């Protein structure tokens, strides 16, 4: 099970990094989403996936009666999902605003902050 | 890994029964206070004119709390608070050790100075868009990152400070800003995601996220490739956050675009959080693997220093010049993390500890001085009405106090005596030579030399030379006088309408005085950073404070 998950995680990372190397913001955004999902699966695999009972304690007991699945990775993933979703929403709005205001989603053509014709400081006075 | 069946005894053993000591809440307060103020300020949207006073009060409270915590940690050693009364390593531990609290104190000083500056410069509209709440969220995230003792929790605080900084960097929505913000946001988000990857791998390998626990388990583990992979990923992730070469290009693309006070905050705090995480993770958690990466870190540090210094030489915009000085400073700090492992069995002595101590010292100095320089750039730009070295001039005559303060700061950032930049550089150079890395010491000095040239030229151009005649389309004296009257009227109207006024010199003066004081009396801070470095290299005290000697 972990081997299959590891393979999926590797594929997601490869695709994500390929997309992140693009110069278009929209493709980078998709890469970021895939990267986030790859990480979530990685944490899931790190907590060991196996076919055991869910971590639910019976009403009349203090401790689980049998071997149960590890609930901690799910808590970590839930946190990571919420965070990456909110950041994706922010970046999506930012990218749209950039497209509206700068008229491009090509990062190579976004040179407003670092103009290409910026000259050196004066050498003397 | 399936959880084995727990007996009731184990279950009761998993939680703390004794109530949390009231004094231990002090450990969590540096996070609680900013987040409380953030939510309070968010509710004050209808009272924008009150916001600055409340924000200054909040930052003052934060500074006092951090100083109290520093006093306790310096005298009693690391302080711990377990969240939700879970016993370690199950619960999230907040662990305040000397390194974390020292950084948190410096951050609070910087934040207070910036808040005072912001009170005068942030317009009503920017307040309405949430400048002060974002500021407090970011400071809360920074404090949390400095104080947490849990690796996943560190990730969460990184994201908290990121979202606060995203809000601040786009405030104003100028085109330049949107461009810079895009690069800043993407690169920082990718860096934190890499950190999360490494955190997932740590959990898979060690089965724990508690830093004290990981530190002990990693020390008793046989060297293997998995831990080296994790350490390298952490180096990449935090190196990106700290703007280390070759992952530094987002910083000069973005830090000069937002409001001046936001630049000052970012330059003082955010890269230093990356440096802090590098120290915490590489030197405390994975020291053996860091020793193996020693030459890589040394190369990165050297390249970062040179790139920063050369970049600063080539810039004509004030803030773009300072951006590169930030990068050069990061390189200098990284040099202190590069020394090879000591051969002797005593881990807390020798050049590595001296180098780390110098790096921590330099980081504190850099937080104070870089923030002050950006605030000085803010005042210079306001007074000269330009941020370009082609157009600024003659400020010595019109603002002598600003000139004097800026001169002190420029000398401090170049690492010349007698100000705060000199001593940590001396410590670093001594440690490099003692640790057999003489070439890195030479690079530190070369970078310092180049920075001195760049700073001297900035001072000569902006302050010493007479104001250059810039053609602004008003040649006649009468037209100029009319334009002056009109400008004054406009600025008065703006003050009335937008809640802005001329920022005071006070925060700048206080920060410059700090730089002078650290330079004249370095002994107190040096002994503190020495103890902090010792606590990182030998985390027995850290571990004891978390696990109470049981474990």
Q: pLDDT tens track of chain B, all 551 residues?
A: 344 445 556 656 667 766 777 778 899 999 999 999 999 999 998 888 899 999 999 999 999 999 999 999 999 889 888 887 788 888 889 999 999 999 999 999 999 999 999 998 988 888 989 999 999 999 999 999 999 999 999 999 999 999 999 999 998 888 889 999 999 999 999 999 999 999 999 999 998 999 999 999 988 888 788 899 999 999 999 999 999 989 999 999 999 999 999 999 999 999 999 999 999 999 999 988 888 899 999 999 999 999 999 999 999 899 999 999 999 999 999 999 998 887 655 555 688 899 999 999 999 999 999 999 999 999 999 988 888 888 888 888 888 999 999 999 999 999 988 899 999 999 999 999 988 889 999 999 999 999 999 999 999 999 988 877 765 544 555 555 565 666 666 655 555 556 667 788 899 999 999 999 999 999 999 999 999 999 999 888 898 888 874 43
B175: which chain A residues are within 8 Å (Cβ-Cβ)? 101-102, 112
Closest partner CB to B196 (pick from A39, A95, A101):
A39
Mutation for A interface: B156, B162, B178, B461, most A CBs within 10 A: B178
What percent of chain A is predicted at pLDDT more than 90? 53
| Pair B269, B403 in one domain | no
| Pair B299, B421 in one domain | yes
The answer to whether position B235 is within a domain reads no
| pLDDT at B551 (0 to 100) | 37
What pLDDT, in 10s, does the model give residues A10-68?
999 999 999 999 999 999 999 999 999 999 999 999 888 777 778 888 887 777 777 88
Expressed in angstroms, the distance from the first to the final Cα of chain B is 21
Separation in Å, CA of A55 to nearest CA in chain B:
9
Closest CA to B45 of B119, B163, B124, B138: B124
| Pair B510, B536 in one domain | yes
A52: which chain B residues are within 8 Å (Cβ-Cβ)? 2
A95: which chain B residues are within 8 Å (Cβ-Cβ)? 182
- Contact state of A43 with B461 under an 8 Å Cβ cutoff: no
Separation in Å, CA of B357 to nearest CA in chain A:
34
The answer to whether position B9 is within a domain reads no
| DSSP per residue, A1-26 | -HHHHHHHHHHHHHHHHHHHTSSBHH
d(CA B143, CA B273): 9
**Residue B160 in tokens:** 């908290």
Looking at chain A, which residue has its C-alpha nearest residue B163? Answer: A87
B317: which chain A residues are within 8 Å (Cβ-Cβ)? 118
Residues 6 or more apart from A2 whose CB is under 8 A from it? A45, A48, A49
B8: which chain A residues are within 8 Å (Cβ-Cβ)? 62-63
| pLDDT at B25 (0 to 100) | 87
d(CA B130, CA B114): 16
- Contact state of A35 with B190 under an 8 Å Cβ cutoff: yes
| Pair B215, B314 in one domain | no
In Å, what is the CA distance from B121 to each residue of B109, B124, B133, B167, B395? 19, 10, 16, 17, 20
Contact B320, B252 (CB under 8 A): yes
Q: Is A68 helix (H, G, I), strand (E, B) or coil?
A: strand
pTM above threshold 0.80: yes
Contact B336, B298 (CB under 8 A): no
**Residue B470 in tokens:** 């810039």
- Contact state of A121 with B461 under an 8 Å Cβ cutoff: yes
Residue reference for tokens 């030229």? B457
The answer to whether position B461 is within a domain reads yes
**Residue ranges of E strands in chain A:** none
| Pair B142, B101 in one domain | yes
| Pair B378, B523 in one domain | yes
The answer to whether position B459 is within a domain reads yes
Looking at chain B, which residue has its C-alpha nearest residue A23? Answer: B183
A28: which chain B residues are within 8 Å (Cβ-Cβ)? 186
In Å, what is the CA distance from B206 to each residue of A40, B151, B221, B233, B451? 18, 12, 10, 16, 44
Q: Is B123 helix (H, G, I), strand (E, B) or coil?
A: coil
The answer to whether position B231 is within a domain reads no
- Contact state of B3 with A67 under an 8 Å Cβ cutoff: yes
Q: How many domains does chain B have?
A: 2
Closest CA to B33 of B62, B64, B67: B62
Domains of chain A: 2-51+68-108 (1.10.287.3510)
| Pair B204, B314 in one domain | no
In Å, what is the CA distance from B275 to each residue of B6, B268, B271, B339? 40, 12, 6, 16
Phi-psi region of A104 (alpha: psi -120 to 50; beta: other; left: phi over 0): beta
A113: which chain B residues are within 8 Å (Cβ-Cβ)? 176-177, 179-180, 183, 253-254, 256-257
State the DSSP H helix or E strand holding residue B94, giving kind and residue range, or none if neither. Answer: strand B93-96
The answer to whether position B477 is within a domain reads no
Q: What one-character DSSP code corresponds to residue B93? A: E
Closest CA to B200 of A117, A2, A99: A2
| Pair B170, B319 in one domain | no
A48: which chain B residues are within 8 Å (Cβ-Cβ)? 1-2, 204
- Contact state of B11 with A79 under an 8 Å Cβ cutoff: no
Residues 6 or more apart from B363 whose CB is under 8 A from it? B103, B106, B272, B275, B276, B333
Separation in Å, CA of A4 to nearest CA in chain B:
16
The answer to whether position B88 is within a domain reads yes
**Residue B171 in tokens:** 């405030």
Q: What is the dihedral of CA B236, B176, B169, B248, to 10 degrees?
A: 20
- Contact state of A32 with B203 under an 8 Å Cβ cutoff: no
d(CA B274, CA B238): 5
- Contact state of A79 with B156 under an 8 Å Cβ cutoff: yes
| Pair B80, B179 in one domain | yes
State the DSSP H helix or E strand holding residue A101, giving kind and residue range, or none if neither. Answer: helix A72-102
**Residue B375 in tokens:** 């605030």
How many A-B residue pairs are in contact by the CB < 8 A criterion?
143
- Contact state of B170 with A94 under an 8 Å Cβ cutoff: yes
| Pair B204, B329 in one domain | no
Domain region containing B205: 21-183+200-222+250-285
- Of the pLDDT bands very low, low, confident and very high (cuts 50, 70, 90), residue A2 is confident
- Contact state of B166 with A114 under an 8 Å Cβ cutoff: no
- B261, B285, B309 - which closes a domain: B285
Report the complex ipTM: 0.94
Q: What is the dihedral of CA B278, B281, B283, B286, to 10 degrees?
A: -140
| pLDDT at B343 (0 to 100) | 65
Q: How many CB atoms lie within 10 A of CB A91?
A: 21
**φ, ψ at B339 (rounded to 5°):** -65, 145
- Contact state of B5 with A111 under an 8 Å Cβ cutoff: no
The answer to whether position B120 is within a domain reads yes
A32: which chain B residues are within 8 Å (Cβ-Cβ)? 186, 189-190, 193
| Pair B277, B389 in one domain | no
A102: which chain B residues are within 8 Å (Cβ-Cβ)? 175, 178-179
Report chain A's C-alpha Rg in angstroms: 23
**Residue B198 in tokens:** 């490494």
| Pair B315, B439 in one domain | yes
Closest partner CB to A114 (pick from B185, B205, B253):
B253
- Contact state of A46 with B201 under an 8 Å Cβ cutoff: yes
């Amino acid at each position: 099970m972990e081997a299959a998950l590891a393979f999926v995680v590797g594929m997601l990372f490869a695709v994500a990094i390929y997309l992140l190397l693009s110069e278009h913001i929209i493709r980078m955004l998709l890469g970021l989403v895939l990267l986030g999902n790859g990480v979530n699966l990685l944490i899931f695999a790190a907590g060991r996936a196996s076919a055991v009972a869910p971590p639910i304690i019976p009403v009349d007991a203090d401790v689980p009666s049998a071997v149960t699945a590890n609930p901690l990775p799910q808590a970590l993933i839930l946190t990571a999902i919420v965070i990456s979703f909110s950041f994706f929403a922010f970046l999506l709005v930012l990218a749209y605003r950039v497209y509206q205001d700068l008229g491009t989603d090509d990062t190579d053509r976004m040179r407003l902050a670092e103009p290409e014709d910026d000259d050196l400081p004066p050498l003397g006075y | 890994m399936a959880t084995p069946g727990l007996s009731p005894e184990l279950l009761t053993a998993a939680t703390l029964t004794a109530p949390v000591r009231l004094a231990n809440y002090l450990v969590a307060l540096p996070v609680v206070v900013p987040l409380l103020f953030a939510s309070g300020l968010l509710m004050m949207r209808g009272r924008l004119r009150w916001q600055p006073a409340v924000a200054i009060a909040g930052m003052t409270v934060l500074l006092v709390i951090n100083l109290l915590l520093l006093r306790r940690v310096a005298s009693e050693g690391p302080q711990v608070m377990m969240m939700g009364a879970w016993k370690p390593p199950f619960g999230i531990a907040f662990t305040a050790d000397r390194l974390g609290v020292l950084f948190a104190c410096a951050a609070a000083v910087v934040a207070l100075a910036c808040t005072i500056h912001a009170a005068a410069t942030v317009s009503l509209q920017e307040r309405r868009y949430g400048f002060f709440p974002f500021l407090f969220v970011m400071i809360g995230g920074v404090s949390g990152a400095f104080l947490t003792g849990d690796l996943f929790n560190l990730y969460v605080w990184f994201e908290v400070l990121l979202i606060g900084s995203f809000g601040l960097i786009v405030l104003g929505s100028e085109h330049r800003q949107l461009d810079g913000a895009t690069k800043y946001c993407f690169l920082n988000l990718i860096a934190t995601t890499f950190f999360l990857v490494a955190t997932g791998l740590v959990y898979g390998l060690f089965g724990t996220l508690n830093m004290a626990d990981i530190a002990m388990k990693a020390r008793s583990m046989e060297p293997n490739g998995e831990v080296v992979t994790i350490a390298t990923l952490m180096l990449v992730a935090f190196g990106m956050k700290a703007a280390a070469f070759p992952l530094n290009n987002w910083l000069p693309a973005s830090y000069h675009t937002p409001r001046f006070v936001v630049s000052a905050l970012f330059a003082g705090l955010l890269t230093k959080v990356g440096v802090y995480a590098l120290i915490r993770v590489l030197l405390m958690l994975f020291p053996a693997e860091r020793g193996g990466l020693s030459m890589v870190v040394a190369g990165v540090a050297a390249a970062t220093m040179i790139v920063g210094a050369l970049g600063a030489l080539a810039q004509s915009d004030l803030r773009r010049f300072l951006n590169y000085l930030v990068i050069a400073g990061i390189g200098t700090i990284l040099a202190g993390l590069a020394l090879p492992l000591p051969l002797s069995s005593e881990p807390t002595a020798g050049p590595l500890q001296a180098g780390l101590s110098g790096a921590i010292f330099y980081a504190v100095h850099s937080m104070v001085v870089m923030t002050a320089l950006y605030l000085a750039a803010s005042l210079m730009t306001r007074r000269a009405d330009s941020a370009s070295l082609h157009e600024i001039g003659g400020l010595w005559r019109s603002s002598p106090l600003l000139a004097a303060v800026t001169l002190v700061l420029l000398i401090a950032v170049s690492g010349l005596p007698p100000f705060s930049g000199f001593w940590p550089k001396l410590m670093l150079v001594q440690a490099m030579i003692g640790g057999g890395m003489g070439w890195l010491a030479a690079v530190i000095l070369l970078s310092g030399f180049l920075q001195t040239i760049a700073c001297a030229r900035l001072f000569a151009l902006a302050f010493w030379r007479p104001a250059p005649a810039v053609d602004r389309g008003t040649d006649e004296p009468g037209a100029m006088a009319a334009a002056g009257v009109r400008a004054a009227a406009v600025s008065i109207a703006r003050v009335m309408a937008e809640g802005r006024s001329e920022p005071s010199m006070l925060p700048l003066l206080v920060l410059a005085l700090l730089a002078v004081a650290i330079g004249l009396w370095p002994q107190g801070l040096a002994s503190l950073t020495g103890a902090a470095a010792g606590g990182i290299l030998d985390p027995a005290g850290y571990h004891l404070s978390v696990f109470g000697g049981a474990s």
